[in-house]
Amino acid sequence: MPNKTTVTEFVLLGFSDVREMQILHVVFFLVMYLAALLGNLLIITAVALDHHLHSPMYFFLMNLSVIDLGSISVTLPKSLVNSFLNNKSISYYGCVTQVFLFIFFASADIALLTVMAYDRYVAICQPLHYEIVMNRRACVQMAAGVWISGILNSAVLTGNTFALSFCRDNAVDHFFCEIPQLLKLTCSVSYLSETAVIVCSACLELCCFVFIIVSYVQIFSTVLRIPSEQGRHKAFSTCLPHLTVVSLFIFPGTIAYLKPTSSSASVLDFMVAVLYTLVPPVMNPIIYSMRNREIKAALGKLIGRRLFTKNEMSVFLP
């Protein structure tokens, strides 16, 4: 389609114009961003260096940490810089890039959570076949499928959105470029585009959500038949972090992308966006670390090794 766009940049209106509130936003969101970076980098490093964690579950957890790092890095840094410099603009192509990368990581996230549910299903319901079904080649293929599905879904939604013309207002009532907010600004007939966004998002989320629910129905029915209480507790403890992560991401994302843009309230959109863009990347490492002894042991070794190395260097240095 020919590009009829006359807008060369967008203005992000997500935060207050009061300078004190902007500084408060910078401090709070910077702390959140650094916490997400530290937590996810620790998970990635621990899984990569500890051979006890070289299993399918932790391989997928490492991929989840990479996705969390990518998703939060797409939205927060630009918002922090804009608030710090009191400049709310983002270029047209910067907005396109932000939308593409955000949808890419979000789509890969939900696909990976579905794969992780399947991993737990095989581990609990078919433990004797686990090593055969979840072999290294199968894990790599599933991870590749996650990333490819993210690219395809993002390409469709981003291309569909920016094929429209933006020739009226360029003020996005958000702290980053998001498709539902951009559809409010188009001067083209956006009904078909809005429908396409809802259909694509619904298909992906519904398929993944149904698969996760079916997997956990099978898992819970199997766990309840375990005679040992300790065995049931151990099985549930491996599933609880994943279920918590799924809830943190899917439900707010569903509200944001499956609700018609015409009925969106700015305050609600803002709160929901914070929930599914900031909270999961910050909380996922904490959730998996608190409920998993192997992760805590690996992190303890990693931190202890770093401290021991520093102490050794301080002994030898004058």
Contact 103, 156 (CB under 8 A): no
pTM assigned to the model: 0.84
**Residue 306: pLDDT band by 50, 70, 90 thresholds?**
low
Mean pLDDT of 145-157: 91
Domains belonging to the chain, first-starting first, are: 9-316 (1.20.1070.10)
Residue 310 scores a pLDDT above 60: no
Amino acid at 244: T
Predicted local distance difference test score (pLDDT) of residue 168: 65
- Name the CA dihedral angle for 8, 11, 12, 15, rounded to a multiple of 10 degrees: 170
- The 10s digit of each residue's pLDDT in 173-199 is 888 888 878 878 877 665 566 666 667
Query: Cα–Cα distance between 274 and 268 in angstroms, integer?
Result: 10
- Residues 6+ away with beta carbon under 8 Å from 294: 52, 53, 58
The size of the chain, in residues, is 318
The sign one gets for the Cα dihedral 84, 89, 92, 96 is: positive
- Tell me the pLDDT tens digit for each residue of 72-99: 999 899 888 888 888 888 888 999 999 9
**121-144: per-residue pLDDT in tens?**
999 888 889 999 999 999 999 999
- Residue 147's pLDDT is 95
Q: Which residues, at least 6 apart from 316, have a Cβ–Cβ distance to it below 8 Å?
A: none
pLDDT at 18: 76
Q: Strands across the sheet with 89-91, in order?
A: 89-91, 9-12, 171-172
